Structure 1
């Protein structure tokens, strides 16, 4: 089977965001632009405590490129694991060169991000290129929690579609709908901020 894209929808940073005094003030806009998911691994933010638990990564690290620390186009809405894994790692001294050969990073808003990383049908994240392998290792994309979160999202989508069949009199469909409602009640605990 062919691998799936790591992200079903590519995030797109808006270019019309008004300049703010601190990069942390961009979080609502970043959350919207990144569809409430980690820009790197695509895990929904509610698995890490929602907006308050998610981080803002400086794609070109602020420790090396202080002038970019408050530039919206250098910010990535991301989970704590990806942010800590990438940390201030960067392949050189130029903020515009994010990779050199097989070392470095692809901006998750780039059209070529999915050329380096993908998913198996079971949700595990795969490296497709040597550069993808570097990113995979640094961001710990092999962690099982990423697969579980992805599978739970797929299950929720399927349960939602099945629940719409609930108007029928079939006892098995009715039981499935009740189970679906119960599942969403518990999953809702994760999604509260």
Structure 2
């Protein structure tokens, strides 16, 4: 999936011999795997950040939920900007079990399909579909220019991949036919158009 894939936690996190959790930093590698090496808020991938700037984030802030400080089920991966912007924000009453209420709060990426809350335009802009996505876009700056460019380029790259697959299929079909007919030439012409489209899209990416 190009944006906000479904993520799941590992079945069981390692604990100490006494049964308590390790310090939260111990779970860094596993949480990265659980989150598919993506920021759970803006969806940027670790390799799109040059493998820098990712941090463990306490989904429910440890300042407000101290008992969850080392609980790996409360840890997510966030890029540095989203992590700083989120900070200790938690607008919902901590006595409530919900993570958002009405217009404000946070979407638990392991409990909800984030594509139910956000729509990604071809331009790369995130558009709110339902609460609290509008709150999150503003609080975390999810439409900051760097993220819009990344999402737009992903859209372009997906189109490039589709064109390459199409061109390869056409060329293979002509080769397997074993003869060059008028129909074969037309098919090769369409493959040429697809390859030209790839070049154009790559140029668009390089210009961003």
Pairwise TM-score range, normalised by the shorter structure: 0.7 to 0.9
Superposed, 1:74-89 pairs within 5 Å as 74-89=74-89
The answer to whether structure 1 residue 29 and structure 2 residue 12 are counterparts is: no
Aligned length: 178
> Contact (CA 8 Å) 1:6, 1:42: kept in 2 or not?
no
TM-score (norm 1): 0.74
TM-score (norm 2): 0.70
| 1:155 to partner: Cα distance | 3.3
Q: 1:8 to 1:86 in 2, by over 3 A?
A: closer
The answer to whether structure 1 residue 124 and structure 2 residue 125 are counterparts is: yes
The answer to whether structure 1 residue 13 and structure 2 residue 13 are counterparts is: no
Rounded to whole Å, the distance in 2 between the matches of 1:116 and 1:36 is: 21
Rounded to whole Å, the distance in 1 between the matches of 2:156 and 2:149 is: 10
Rounded to whole Å, the distance in 1 between the matches of 2:55 and 2:150 is: 18
Superposed, 1:112-151 pairs within 5 Å as 112-151=113-152
| 1:34 to partner: Cα distance | 1.3
> Which consecutive residues of structure 1, in runs of 5 or more, have no partner in the other structure?
187-193
| 1:7 to partner: Cα distance | 3.0
| 1:55 to partner: Cα distance | 1.1
> Contact (CA 8 Å) 1:41, 1:141: kept in 2 or not?
yes
CA RMSD, aligned part only?
3.3
> Contact (CA 8 Å) 2:7, 2:109: kept in 1 or not?
yes
Q: Please identify the structure whose Cα radius of gyration is greater.
A: 2
